[in-house]
Amino acid sequence: YSGEQVEYLKEREKGEFAEVQTKVVSPKVQIPLDYRLLQKNGEWRVYDVVIDGVSLMKNYRGQFSRIINSSSFEALLEKLRSKADLGTSS
C-alpha cells in the first residue's frame, strides 16, 4: 500500500456514543471508513468499524449466530481459538 491518505470528515457525539467519519483516499478509489465509539470510565473505545457501509460488528454477529445455531457456542469458541492460534504462530 502506498499513496493512501485518511481524510477526517466529521465527528458526532451524543451522550456516551460518538462516530468519527473518515474516508481512505488513494489515486484510484475512495472508501468510507467510520468509527463508532462508546465512552466507558472516561475513555473512548471503538466498538464498531463501518467500511463502505458494512458494519464489522453486524457482520461478525451474523457469522457467530450462524455457527452457534448450527453447532454450539463451544464450536464457535473452538473456531475462534483455532484462528487466534494461526495468527500467533510464526
How far from 74 is each of 8, 58, 81, CA to CA, in Å? 40, 21, 10
The CATH number that applies at residue 38 is: 3.10.450.50
How many domains, in total, are found in the chain? 2
- Quick one: pLDDT band at residue 86, thresholds 50, 70, 90? confident
Same-domain status, 7 and 42: yes
The set of residues, in sequence order, having a beta carbon less than 8 Å from that of 50 and lying 6+ positions away, is 32, 33, 34, 35, 36, 56
> Which is more confidently placed, 3 or 54?
54
Nearest Cα to Cα of residue 18 among 45, 1, 33, 38: 38
Q: Is the pLDDT of residue 89 over 80?
A: no
The per-residue pLDDT for range 41-82, each reduced to its tens digit, is 999 999 999 999 999 999 999 999 999 999 999 999 999 999
pLDDT band for position 1 (cuts 50, 70, 90): low
Percentage of the chain beyond pLDDT 90 is 86
Between 73-88 and 56-70, two packed helices, what is the crossing angle to 10 degrees? Answer: 120
What is the extent of the structural domain holding 2?
1-52
